[in-house]
Amino acid sequence: MVPPSQRIQHEELGADEEQAVAEAKLWLLQNGGRGISNEDVLAGFGLTLDDFHNIAKQRAARRQ
């Protein structure tokens, strides 16, 4: 999400987007104002932060 102060002035959200933002804000309030950490997201895929960094290094090496 982009803070309102950083939004492009001509950008307007549709009803679906407004609803998604409201749901995200409610979820944050219900969860102590904390989002989900990168580590928790990666763990959901069975990965660690080290795994993630190693994958990125491998992909970068293949591009060279």
- The Cα angle at residue 41 between residues 40 and 46, in degrees rounded to 5: 85
Is the pLDDT reported for residue 2 higher than 90?
no
- CA 16 from chain centre, in angstroms, equals 18
State the pLDDT at residue 11. Answer: 75
- CA 18 from chain centre, in angstroms, equals 17
Q: Quick: pLDDT tens for 12-58.
A: 889 999 999 999 999 999 989 888 999 999 999 999 999 999 999 99
- The Cα angle at residue 19 between residues 6 and 17, in degrees rounded to 5: 50
What are the φ and ψ backbone dihedral angles of 13, each rounded to 5 degrees? -90, 145
Supply 28's token pair.
């944050």
pTM, to two decimals: 0.51
Residue type, 24: A
